[in-house]
Amino acid sequence: MKKLLTAVAASALMTAPALADDIKIGSVAGITGPIAELVAPIMDGRALAAEHINGAGGLLDGSQMVMVPADSQCDPKAGVDAGNKVVNVDQVVAIIGASCSGATNGMVQSVTIPAGIPSISDSATAPSISDLDDKGLVFRTAPSDAYQGAALAQYAYDQGFRSLAMTYANDDYNAGIATVFAQVFEQIGGMITANQVHEPNKASYRAEVATMAGGGEADGLALFAYYGGSGITIIKNSLETGSFGKFVGADGMFDQSVIDQIGADTLRGNIWLTQSASDPDSASYKSFAEAYAATGNDPQAPYAAHGYDATFMMAMAIEKAGSSDSAAIAKALMEINDPSGVEIGVGQWAEAKAAIAEGKAVNYTGATGSVDFDANGDVPGFYGVNTVSADGTWETTLLK
């Protein structure tokens, strides 16, 4: 909670009146809502990138990059409201965010695409985002769950799971990854014994758990939910009723509160959660990790590195465009990863400015690895799997 308060306080500071030559970028995120603790480090990743940019010459002829926060609450309607605020009130030229897939889908379809404003989400992963008629305006540094769902299915099968009951929260992110997971798990030889959607924020899920347990004998439960919405309660109800003792899931469940509320000894060896990760051996990640750790944060926090990359790449696009025109920025986002260009890594803003000023092509390699946008504005990615360590915290192992 301390980090959350720190991030919100920092965001408040960034709302100070901008100077005439400042360039305002919307920083839309689920500052409150079911994954607020997860979002705080992401906001700090964005802030670190803006600090690197402003401390090494700023944008264009010295303009400061001002991050304008708005709370999307991990909710589609709130995402629309947040998008309207930063676009129509604050007059931003581009947006980083939103955090969650539902909020992102709502914001881009109702606000940013019609307004011609480019956006890069650092943590919205629903496959549906790839299929938007987005006019070349919607990008992600977080890979699609079309990949994560498949990676989790293969990992679960490799761990010996052959039958799983499955439940997912009724939202874009959880429904999307659950669909992919079930398809791939069955394709490789597994069986889904029960497949149930549930509504978030209920006091109890005992009825849903009983229905899933009645679907047939299963090796465990595949749970796709936000930890603060329904995930922790479903695990508790599963254990209390003896229905399920082993769980697989994804990054919506990745938070220390899961261990703290259920118990490390109970979950150790009984839960596996995937998340989008970074290659710890890459030079760019090491640069990020050192700088981010110096702010008092954990470099392995989910999507913190993706937040850094999204912000740095938006700045590079503005520099490449040579203006703060939104259409030009969107076009330039596809031009900052030229394989023949000058290699740019984390923190190398002065080098990026110099190369672009000299008319050279640039190729950004991010804290998360390759961030080359495809035709859908998506990127490849690495994944890690989280298990409970001996000291009662999450331990991440990179999947290769």
Q: CA dihedral defined by 280, 282, 288, 289, rounded to 10 degrees? A: 30
Contact 284, 366 (CB under 8 A): yes
* pLDDT of res. 58: 97
* pLDDT of res. 6: 41
Q: What is the pLDDT of residues 43-85, one digit of tens each?
A: 999 999 999 999 999 999 999 999 999 999 999 999 999 999 9
Interval 380-388 mean pLDDT: 92
Q: How many CA atoms lie within 13 A of 318 on its CB side?
A: 30
Confidence bin at 399 (pLDDT 50/70/90): confident
> Is pLDDT above 50 for 13?
no
Interval 168-184 mean pLDDT: 97
The full set of domains in the chain, from first to last, is 2-144+281-370 (3.40.50.2300), 146-277+383-399 (3.40.50.2300)
Confidence bin at 141 (pLDDT 50/70/90): very high
> Is pLDDT above 60 for 14?
no
Q: Tell me the pLDDT of the chain averaged across its residues.
A: 93
335: enclosing H helix or E strand? none
> Is pLDDT above 80 for 17?
no
Angstrom CA distances, 5 to 1, 9, 96, 231, 293, stand at 6, 6, 20, 23, 18
Q: Where are the alpha helices (DSSP H) in the chain?
A: 2-13, 36-54, 76-84, 101-107, 113-115, 145-158, 172-187, 206-213, 232-241, 256-262, 264-267, 283-293, 304-321, 326-333, 349-357
* pLDDT of res. 280: 87
Percent pLDDT > 70 in the chain is 95
Mean pLDDT check: name the lowest of 14-23, 163-172, 353-362. Answer: 14-23
CA distance 372 to 363: 9
> Is pLDDT above 80 for 12?
no
CA distance 97 to 124: 8
244 CB-near residues (< 8 Å, 6+ apart): 165, 209, 212, 213, 218, 220, 221, 238
> Is pLDDT above 50 for 225?
yes
Q: What is the pLDDT of residues 258-281, one digit of tens each?
A: 999 999 999 999 999 999 888 888
Contact 276, 125 (CB under 8 A): yes
Q: What is the pLDDT of residues 76-118, one digit of tens each?
A: 999 999 999 999 999 999 999 999 999 999 999 999 999 999 9
> Is pLDDT above 80 for 15?
no
Percent pLDDT > 90 in the chain is 90
Length of the chain: 400
> Is pLDDT above 70 for 325?
yes
Q: Got the DSSP string for 73-125?
A: TT-HHHHHHHHHIIIIIS--SEEE--SSHHHHHHHIIIIIHHHT--EEESS--
CA distance 55 to 51: 6
* pLDDT of res. 370: 87
> Is pLDDT above 50 for 1?
no
* pLDDT of res. 16: 39
Extract the tokens encoding 375. 């035709």
Mean pLDDT check: name the lowest of 107-121, 169-183, 336-350, 371-385. Answer: 371-385
